Structure 1
């Protein structure tokens, strides 16, 4: 059926897991994920994902004493899939509670592969078995050591580049493992140490930069951060940073203004349209979100009341009740 915008929803691509014969689960004693999915669908099909996450994790924290653990998802799986993933982690915590001790203080991301990403989040591969998760938990102290080394390298690079901070944004590209991130930082730091750039220690304070492997020349993103190739010409980089610093500060100021406007218009939409929730995908810019919200306010359709709207780039109705609409939706 068409949604209230008169558009037919498009289905998102489904990521199929390996399907084992039923005898495999009978013989091994492992839980059948298909059976669990059906149970989750029958049990609480209308619960919001956030409520399920909050409930399960609060129980985990109270039972295991794990503090500051929160879960995210790399992909927009439906509520039943997310519920099953949390249930799997919950089962592991009961079967082997000691294994989860090293998770304390980490954010967990259910992703395509296990490991630690450049942001320091623990990634749990959704197709991995408990043994692989447990092995990852045992390796977390080593990952934390690597994370500390990346922080040190970022500080050293910042000192050499006039106070520019090296940042990493998972939402701007594919998930980068922390080992790969460390390697990039280490390579760039060694190159900086072999050259003597003449930048005032605080001349670029407040500016940020992303390191990339697949670019040949530096650039300035519309959001105000520099995009720097690891193997770029360093004397030319110094000139580029000095020449583009004023424009970078102007774009950062504009970005902050847009973010403030975005927060205000989202709040207004929630209150005026009586929406249950209003969110967006990371790929939607603040300017696009503002434009979308302003048009929603003009629409003021009574059908919006109580809806969970996620602003995206396509039309879809998610399993957990979210109505995905493109930011430039058509009337």
Structure 2
């Protein structure tokens, strides 16, 4: 169906993506997903209206057109979460296009995505998180690889880093001090405190690593010296969780969830945790934490000036 898209429509899509990348610093993966979602939408509308020329099929979209597209997605097996993401991309593109072409955007912008139940994260207990780090190191018979894996997982739990952020460290980021400047999603920078235990894990790995770490080379290396593949971190974490009898939700990303949850449980400020995680929205941070209401009430009663 994508073959029916006109050069004009493709050009408009690329110009929108370039504008988004320049103005909002969208991540490469986000741009790739947006491109695929909007391409499918344009292709459907072009086919739906029986034409292939210009931007005509997008000039006068109706509520019925939007319903037909969403029915098409549902018939194709798209779930509610996927449909919501696709609709979000289409709205962003169409809003941009409508401003430049004078289209009436109401039908597109007023379309509602199906509701879906967000999956709550499953953080590990503090004891399980520590056991995960210790057990990860024992999965390899090669000492430097074991130290490497332990250092990566320590950064995920001790500093709340994403896997991509940990594996994105270069020699120029060393030596680790008391804080590290991280560039996260969308090019957003944040300053992350480095705990002594994280520095110790990194120092041990670097002392054992047989590959020289220079300013322009990745800190974490594969067995042959190339950049460490995140899939290897996922694999070694899976091996460790099976050994410990932890659930399938005990993934590398769960270590980041655990970082946020344990900070909040210890009385940490939600806004400060938001900054440490690099979240643009406080609601995203709230979804990352899993603290029961009883504990929150205890924190409230202990800290709120009017609670006594």
Structure with the bigger percentage of helix? 2
Specify the TM-score bucket, using the shorter chain as the normaliser. under 0.3
The one of the two structures with greater contact order (alpha-carbon pairs below 8 A, sep at least 6) is: 2
Question: TM-score normalised to the size of structure 2?
Answer: 0.21
TM-score (structure 1 length as normaliser): 0.20
